[in-house]
Chain A
Amino acid sequence: MTDKYEPVIGLEIHIQLSTDSKAYSSDPASYGAPPNTHVSPITLGHPGTLPFVNKKVLEFAIKLGLACGCDLRRENQYARKNYFYADLPKGYQITQDTTPICTGGEISFKTKDGADHKVRLTRIHMEEDAGKSIHDQDPFNTLIDLNRAGVALLEMVSEPDIRSSEEANLFVTEVRKLVRYLEICDGNMEEGSLRCDANISVRPKGTKKFGTKVEVKNMNSIKNVQRAIEYEIKRQVEVLESGGTLYQETRNFDAVSGTTTAMRSKEAANDYRYFPEPDLGPVIITESFIEKIRSLIPALPAELFKKYTEEFGLSSYDATVLTENKDFALYFEDLTSKTKNFKSAANWMIGPVKSYLNENAAVINEFPIESSKIAEIIALIDNNKISFTAGTKQLFPELLKNPGKDINSILIELNLIQESDANSLKPYVAKAMAMYPDKVIEYRSGKKGLLGLFMGEVMKLSGGKADPKVASKLVKEALDEGI
Chain B
Amino acid sequence: MNPKATFRQIQTQLDSGKESCTSIVGAYLSRIRENSHLNAFLEVFEEEALNKAKEIDIRIRSGKAGRLAGMVLGLKDNICYKQHKVSASSKILEGFESLYSATVVEKLLKEDVIIIGRLNCDEFAMGSSNENSAFGNVKNPIDNERVPGGSSGGSVAAVAAGLCTAALGSDTGGSIRQPASFCGLVGLKPGYGRVSRHGLLAYASSFDQIGPVANDIYDAALLLEIMAGHDDYDSTASQVAPELYTTFLESDSSQKKKVAVIKECIEDPGLDQEIKNHLLDKIESLKSKGYIVSEVSFPFLNLMVPTYYVLTTAEASSNLSRYGGILYGYRSNKTTDIDSAFRLSRSEGFGKEVKRRIMLGTFVLSAGYYDAYYNKAQKVRRILKEKTEAIFNDHDFILLPATPDTAFKSGAIKDPVTMYLQDIYTVQANLTGIPAISIPTGSHSNGLPFGLQVMASKFNEGPMMAFAEVVQNL
Residues of A within 8 A of B (CB): 41, 44-53, 80, 82, 84-86, 89-92, 142, 144, 271, 273-275, 278-281
- Which of B100, B200, B320, B321 touches A41 (beta carbons < 8 Å)? B100
Contact A41 B327 (CB under 8 A): no
In the assembled complex, the CB of B303 is this many whole angstroms from the nearest CB of chain A, namely: 20
Q: Which residues of A sit under 8 angstroms from B197, Cβ to Cβ?
A: 48, 50
Given contacts A273-B318, A279-B235, A281-B235, contact A46 B324 (CB under 8 A): no
Q: Which residues of B sit under 8 angstroms from A91, Cβ to Cβ?
A: 318, 320-322, 324
A43–B234 alpha-carbon span in the complex (Å):
15
B360 at the interface (CB under 8 A from A): no
B98 at the interface (CB under 8 A from A): yes
In the assembled complex, the CB of A53 is this many whole angstroms from the nearest CB of chain B, namely: 7
A45–B233 alpha-carbon span in the complex (Å):
14
- Which of B321, B338, B374 touches A86 (beta carbons < 8 Å)? B338
Q: Which residues of A sit under 8 angstroms from B100, Cβ to Cβ?
A: 41, 46
Contact A48 B366 (CB under 8 A): no
B56 at the interface (CB under 8 A from A): no
- Which of A50, A52, A90, A275 touches B321 (beta carbons < 8 Å)? A90
- Which of A41, A82, A271, A280 touches B235 (beta carbons < 8 Å)? A280
A91–B370 alpha-carbon span in the complex (Å):
19
A47–B367 alpha-carbon span in the complex (Å):
27
Given contacts A273-B362, A281-B236, contact A142 B315 (CB under 8 A): no
A271–B232 alpha-carbon span in the complex (Å):
33
Contact B322 A90 (CB under 8 A): yes
Contact B205 A278 (CB under 8 A): yes
In the assembled complex, the CB of A374 is this many whole angstroms from the nearest CB of chain B, namely: 50
A-B contacts counted at CB < 8 A amount to 102
A82–B323 alpha-carbon span in the complex (Å):
13
B85-99 CB mask vs A (1 if < 8 Å, else 0) is 010100001001011
Q: Which residues of A sit under 8 angstroms from B399, Cβ to Cβ?
A: none
Q: Which residues of B sit under 8 angstroms from A85, Cβ to Cβ?
A: 338
Contact A47 B96 (CB under 8 A): yes
Q: Give the residue among A44, A48, A80 with the most B Cβ atoms within 10 A.
A: A48
- Which of B102, B233, B321 touches A82 (beta carbons < 8 Å)? B321
Residues of B within 8 A of A (CB): 78-80, 86, 88, 93, 96, 98-100, 102, 197-202, 204-206, 232-236, 314-315, 317-318, 320-324, 326-328, 338, 341-342, 362, 365-367, 370, 374
Contact B233 A89 (CB under 8 A): no
User: Who on chain B is nearest to A45 by CB?
Assistant: B322
Q: Which residues of A sit under 8 angstroms from B235, Cβ to Cβ?
A: 50-53, 279-281
A sample of 8 inter-chain contacts (CB < 8 A) reads A46-B98, A50-B235, A271-B366, A273-B365, A273-B367, A275-B315, A275-B370, A278-B204
Q: Give the residue among B234, B315, B321 with the most A Cβ atoms within 10 A.
A: B321
Interface on chain B toward A: helix, strand, loop, or mixed SS? loop
User: Who on chain A is nearest to B337 by CB?
Assistant: A142
Q: Which residues of A sit under 8 angstroms from B233, Cβ to Cβ?
A: 49-50, 52
A49–B99 alpha-carbon span in the complex (Å):
11
- Which of A48, A53, A278 touches B201 (beta carbons < 8 Å)? A48
Contact A275 B328 (CB under 8 A): no
A48–B84 alpha-carbon span in the complex (Å):
14
Contact A84 B324 (CB under 8 A): yes
User: Who on chain B is nearest to A78 by CB?
Assistant: B235
Q: Which residues of B sit under 8 angstroms from A53, Cβ to Cβ?
A: 235
Contact B367 A271 (CB under 8 A): yes
Given contacts A89-B327, A271-B367, A279-B236, contact A48 B102 (CB under 8 A): yes
- Which of A47, A92, A281 touches B80 (beta carbons < 8 Å)? A47
In the assembled complex, the CB of B154 is this many whole angstroms from the nearest CB of chain A, namely: 18
Contact B86 A47 (CB under 8 A): yes
Given contacts A53-B235, A90-B321, A91-B318, contact A48 B98 (CB under 8 A): yes
A280–B315 alpha-carbon span in the complex (Å):
13
In the assembled complex, the CB of A92 is this many whole angstroms from the nearest CB of chain B, namely: 5
Given A52-B232, A84-B321, A273-B366, 4 more A-B residue pairs with CB atoms under 8 Å apart are: A44-B328, A47-B80, A48-B198, A281-B236
